[in-house]
Amino acid sequence: MPRPRVSTTPAIVLRQRKLGDADKILTLFTANRGKLEAVAKGVRRSRSKLAGHVEPLSHATFQLAQGRSLFIVTQAETVESFTPIRDDLDRLSRGLYACEILDRFTETGEEHFELYRLLLDTLRRLSVRDDIDTPVRYLEMQTLDVLGYRPELDECVTCRKQLAAVTNYWTAAAGGVLCPNCRPGELSVRPVSPNAIKVLRMLLHARWSDVERITIDPDLAVELERALLEYVRWVLERDVRSAAFIDAVRRPRRGARPPVGPVARIADA
């Protein structure tokens, strides 16, 4: 019998599910072969050497053997365990959401090194920053862009006129922003403030080193979160389960006011 092909790759564990009595199937996002599924055998037994290295969010080096239908994990060694994320429900909810986004948006076997780097960078940002929303917004927008779902943020998606710095309308269904003249009465469209459009453009075009310097006030953070989640749901044609987890564990945003409309401010940090 030919020896099974073995390869070593860094990967992030997106999720895991039980298999039989002692095993787990891991969904891994690898650096050079995109998403794949691999069986971690015996990992639910107390003496398993693998167990500590295969938890969701772990960044580890995996040795994988090509099995008949799935990969088999033969070794795993944690590189980063992201303890600050695991120790804080608020951070954990964002980390799991980031993993779910990449899991939902990608198919197994497609190589996505750019998205692998983006997820890894996002988990590092979630480990250290006070503002844990902006890294997630950046991940959402960059993922949409890389996979060809970039929203139109410069001109009205209907009349194609340049958007003015007024309240416009957000429409995931039409792929971006509608001007006030084209806003249909009957469709549910969400008002989007000039400041939100400014930040959305930065999330799309700017490098993280520029994005991380902006301070986003609580009302604007809510506006951006709702707009991008709506967009992501529309593209995926399904809900993102961990979005509900974020809501359930969310700390009250400091200074948050009840939603009274697009009254928000961006200030340079």
Binding site for Zn ion (CB under 5 A): 156, 158-159, 179, 182
d(C-alpha 105, C-alpha 118), whole Å: 13
d(C-alpha 265, C-alpha 1), whole Å: 66
Which CB, 200 or 232, lies closer to Zn ion?
200
Contacts 24+ apart (CB under 8 A), 13-21: 13/54, 13/55, 13/56, 13/57, 13/58, 13/60, 13/99, 14/56, 14/99, 14/100, 14/102, 14/103, 15/56, 15/99, 15/100, 15/103, 16/40, 16/54, 16/55, 16/56, 18/44
For residue 269, the minimal CB distance to Zn ion (Å) is 34
**Looking up tokens 């980390």, which residue turns up?**
95
**Is residue 5 within 8 Å of residue 66, measured between CB atoms?**
yes
Contacts of residue 184, Cβ cutoff 8 Å, sequence gap at least 6: 178
For residue 174, the minimal CB distance to Zn ion (Å) is 10
For residue 157, the minimal CB distance to Zn ion (Å) is 8
Which CB, 74 or 158, lies closer to Zn ion?
158
Which CB, 182 or 221, lies closer to Zn ion?
182
For residue 209, the minimal CB distance to Zn ion (Å) is 34
For residue 170, the minimal CB distance to Zn ion (Å) is 13
Both tokens assigned to 244 = 């509900």
For residue 168, the minimal CB distance to Zn ion (Å) is 9
d(C-alpha 131, C-alpha 166), whole Å: 27
Which CB, 159 or 248, lies closer to Zn ion?
159
CA proximity to 170, closest of 221, 117, 235, 223: 223
Which CB, 182 or 232, lies closer to Zn ion?
182
Which CB, 179 or 192, lies closer to Zn ion?
179
